[in-house]
């Protein structure tokens, strides 16, 4: 199983909510977008 298959298996049927907390705003935004593109529902906080 490669990385994409692992993420796909994890997203199916499980809670897809994700809270990302970081004080580096550009990193936080970029990571949130990346995780949203992988099917997660993302909330962010600084």
Total-model pTM: 0.68
Q: Containing domain of residue 34, as a range?
A: 3-45
Do the bridges between strand 17-21 and strand 41-45 make them parallel or antiparallel, or are there none, so unpaired?
Answer: parallel
Report how far apart, in Å, the C-alpha atoms of 10 and of each of 4, 7, 16, 28, 31 are: 10, 5, 9, 22, 18
Tokens 């199983």 locate to 1
Average of per-residue pLDDT across 9-27: 85
Q: How many domains does the chain have?
A: 1
Residue 9's pLDDT is 55
Mean pLDDT of the chain: 84
Res. 40: pLDDT tops 70: yes
pLDDT-based confidence at 46, cuts 50/70/90? confident
Residue 12's pLDDT is 62
């Amino acid at each position: 199983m490669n990385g994409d298959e692992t993420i796909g298996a994890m997203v199916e049927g499980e809670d897809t909510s994700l809270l990302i907390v970081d004080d580096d705003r550009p990193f936080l935004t970029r990571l949130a977008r990346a995780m949203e593109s992988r099917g997660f529902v993302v909330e962010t906080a600084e």
